[in-house]
Amino acid sequence: MFPLTVAIFSLFSYAVVAEDCLTALNWSTGKGRILLNGQPFVLKGVNYFGFETETFAPHGLWSKSLDGLLDFVRNNNFNAIRLPFSMEMALKNPAHPNVNCQANPRICKLNALDLMGAFIDSCAARGILVMLDSHRLSQGGGITELWYDKGYYTEARVLEAWDIILNRFGSKWNVFAIDLKNEPHGAASWGWKKQDTDWNWAAERFIKLFKNTRHFKHIGARHGNFKGLFFVEGVQANAASPNKNSPTHFWGENLEGVTWNPVKTGNRNLDARIVYSPHVYGPDVFNQAYFKVGNFPANMPDIWNMHFGFAKDRTGHPVVLGEWGGHYRPGSPDEKWQNALADWLHKKCMTDQFYWCLNPNSGDTGGLLNDDWSTANTRKLNLLTRVVPHPTKVKRTNGQICVTHGRYLNSDCHKADQTTISSDSTASQEQYASDGHLESGVKPE
Ligand SMILES: *[C@@H]1O[C@H](CO)[C@@H](O)[C@H](O)[C@H]1NC(C)=O
C-alpha cells in the first residue's frame, strides 16, 4: 500500500513540473521570492572565487580543467555561481591569468576579461546562471570597508569598472544578477544620512544608473542591456535600527537598517529587481560570544531574525544568503551551526542561497572540493541537497531558454506564494506615481 501511494504521489508531482520556454528570461521579485518568468526561482548557488585575486582567474585552473570543475557544479545540481572579481581586474584586464594550458587549451591564452566571458559561456552551456560580484577594489588590498577608497578607486572609477563588465557581459542570458559590493563593514553605515559612508544610499545611486525611461535615456543607454537582479548586502555595524544592543554581526550581515531605510530608487521596475543579500558565518570563521552560550544553537534563530531574517516579511523582497559555510567537521560547533541554519532557512522559506564555497583553498571554511581539487566533501554536498533538493533548471535550446520550475521542500513556502504581504504592497502602491517615480519617499536624493 505504502509504495503505491508513493508512486502515485511522484506521478502527480512530476505532472505539475512544467517547462516553459522564452527567448529571454524575465527576472523580478515578489512576496519574498526571486521570480523567474513570474514563478518562484528555486536557487541552489555556490561561490567560486579567484578572478578577484592575483591570479585574475578562477582558482584551480592552474591544474584542473574549467569544464571538469563546472561539470562538478552542474552534476551536483547547482543552478548558479556567485563569481567574485576585482575592480582592478576589470580596469586593467591583465594579459596572463594563471591558467594551465594542458588542462585548458582553449582558454589558457586569454586575457582576464575574455576568460571571464569564456567562463560565463561555459556556465551557460551547462544551464548554470552567474552572479557577478564586486568583491574587491584591488586584487591585493583585501576587502575594503566601503565601496570606494580615498585613493585610486573613487566612486567614479568603480562605476567605470562596472561599465566595462556590464558592456561586455550584461546582456548574456545567464548573467542573472550583480552583487553591488562584497561585505561592506567597518565605517560603512546604513541610514545615517552620510553621503560618504551610507551603503544604502550608494546602492540606490548605483541601481538608478539602470533607469531606462525616456527621461533618462542618456543613462539608460549606459546599462539598459542588463535586465537581471541587484543584490544588496548589509553592513557590519552603524545601522540606524530599532534594535538596541543587537549582538555583533559578520561583515555584510547587518540589514537592520532596512526597517527605516529600505533601498528604494523610485522606479518600480528597478525596485522589483532588488534582493537583500546578507553574509553569515559560524564559529569556524569567528567565534562570536553567542556561539559559546549553553543553549547554542537554539539561541541562533532570534539573532538571525533580528539581523536579517525579518527583512523578507518586512519589505516583501527576497533575502538570499550570498555567503555561508564552514568546515562542517563531524561533532564540531560549526556543524551544529550549519545544521541549525539549514533548518531555520527551511522554516523561513529562505533556502535560496550561495554556499561558500567550491574552492578548497578557503582557509577558514574549506570547500565542496577537497584539497586535491577533484574529490568532494560529500557531507557538505548532502547538507546542500537537504537545503535545496529541487532547484529550478534552465537550459538553452534552439535559441530559446527553457525553464523547469523547482520546488521548495517546505510546502508552506509554496502556500505563501498565494498570500500577499499586505502592509508592504499597500505602501508601495501609494508610493509610485504612474510613471514609476517615487512620490512621497522618506529620503532626499
Ligand atoms: C515579467 O514578470 C513580471 C512578474 O511576474 C510581470 O509583471 C511582467 O509583466 C513580466 N514582463 C515581461 C516582459 O514578460
**Distance of alpha carbon 298 from alpha carbon 8, whole angstroms:** 38
Q: Is 353 a member of any domain?
A: yes
Q: Is 20 a member of any domain?
A: no
CATH code for the domain in which residue 159 is found = 3.20.20.80
Question: Quick check: 34 pLDDT over 80?
Answer: yes
Of the listed ranges 316-325, 414-423, 430-439, the one predicted with least confidence: 430-439
Which entry of 52, 88, 183, 256 is annotated as an active-site residue? Answer: 183
Q: Is 266 a member of any domain?
A: yes
Give the containing element (helix H, strand E) for 334. helix 333-348
Residue-range definition of the domain harbouring residue 253: 32-431
Q: Is 259 a member of any domain?
A: yes
Which residue did the predictor score with more confidence, 147 or 434?
Answer: 147
Mean pLDDT of 301-325: 98
Number of domains composing the chain: 1
Q: Is 237 left (phi over 0), alpha (psi -120 to 50) or beta?
A: beta
How is residue 137 written as a grid cell? 577594489
Residue 39, ligand 1, Cβ within 6 A: no
The protein residue with its alpha carbon nearest to ligand 1, atom 5, reads: 38
pTM, to two decimals: 0.90
Distances in Å between the alpha carbon of 39 and those of 73, 127, 219?
A: 24, 18, 30
The protein residue with its alpha carbon nearest to ligand 1, atom 14, reads: 26
Q: Tens of pLDDT along 136-163?
A: 999 998 999 999 999 999 999 999 999 9
The protein residue with its alpha carbon nearest to ligand 1, atom 11, reads: 26
Question: Quick check: 268 pLDDT over 60?
Answer: yes
Q: Is 94 a member of any domain?
A: yes
Q: Which position has the grid cell 514563478?
A: 39
pLDDT band at 225 (very low <50, low <70, confident <90, very high): confident
pLDDT band at 330 (very low <50, low <70, confident <90, very high): very high
Residue 245 CB partners (closer than 8 Å, separation 6+)? none
Q: Is 215 a member of any domain?
A: yes
CA of 370 to the centre of ligand 1 (A): 42
Q: Is 439 a member of any domain?
A: no
Task: Confirm if 179 and 131 have CB atoms less than 8 A apart.
Answer: yes
Residue 38, ligand 1, Cβ within 6 A: yes
Q: Is 369 a member of any domain?
A: yes
Residue 79's DSSP bridge partners are none
Q: Tens of pLDDT along 88-135?
A: 999 999 998 899 999 999 999 999 999 999 999 999 999 999 999 999
Which residue did the predictor score with more confidence, 364 or 8?
Answer: 364
DSSP states of 214-237 = GGGHHHHHHHTT--SEEEE--BSS
Amino acid at 354: F
